[in-house]
Structure 1
Amino acid sequence: MTAVCLLDTSIFLEILNVPVKAQQHTKILEELAKRIQLKESLFLPMATILETGNHIGQNGDGGARRACAERFVTQVSKALEGGSPFKPISFLKAEEMVVWLRDFPDHATGGSGLGDLSIIHDWNRLCLQNRGRRVYIWSLDKHLASYDRPPEI
């Protein structure tokens, strides 16, 4: 069975080639092509969408921001419509936010934000739903990249 992959903001920034943030655009696109060829399930967490939008809106000149924002809107819209290799997940429900808020003080103490915590919760949920598949977070952040569970037999 193919793997289940959650995209972190660091990867989505590279895919979209966000000015100043993207340093490995070509390499990440090559890795993305491999994941698509392997038919991995590629999930785009809500936190990744929101954080990427924030990075785009706060960086570069107006023209660069607009061009990047248009690429972003196209990719996320395609994902929402089912016309992308990415499947959006984690449209927040009140019950989920209660759990995230309960866990946030301990998580923040370790130096991570609420977005990362929500992606970790997504990872945990996908691990439970996909016991026979590898489930991992694709990230340039070593902490998030450490979330990589092999398939259970």
Structure 2
Amino acid sequence: MEASLDISNLPSRSFSAGEIILEQGARKSQAYILQSGTLSVSVSGNVVCKVDTEGAVIGEISALLGCEVSATVTAKTNATVYVIEDFNNFLGADSAAALNVAQILAGRVVNMNGHFAQIRDEVDALQSSSGSSRSRLRQMLYDLEEFWATEVLVIRPRRK
């Protein structure tokens, strides 16, 4: 899903191939928008994807939640990003941008739900396998169900 954000006044920063942009475990309030280049995303040292789409946003989850960065992002090639120094303030000042980001994140949840359902179906199909495998698969499924049960969107009225 794509969003339209006013990035005309954002500073940009260049990274050389191999340079770390975000490091897993760090705390950052910044988010970045890929201007050019290719980025590598890894979790616990394992590469999980590459990002090469101009306009791709990275670091938004940790910036929004004020939590640790969940993945290390490294410039795979020379890369340039726009820097949003305080992502929450950026979104707070632009309700259209905030809505676009919310729509993108909601789209991710829909995709993850689809993947979860597919994994659940595959686990169910493997239930007939050997006892130890079945037990491990049940535990994985239980862990996934616990994960999905932890976060619920709650909207509270604004107090006047």
Q: TM-score, normalised by structure 1?
A: 0.27
The structure having more radius of gyration, on CA atoms, is 2
Structure of higher RCO (CA pairs closer than 8 Å, 6+ residues apart) = 1
More strand by share: 2
Q: TM-score, normalised by structure 2?
A: 0.26
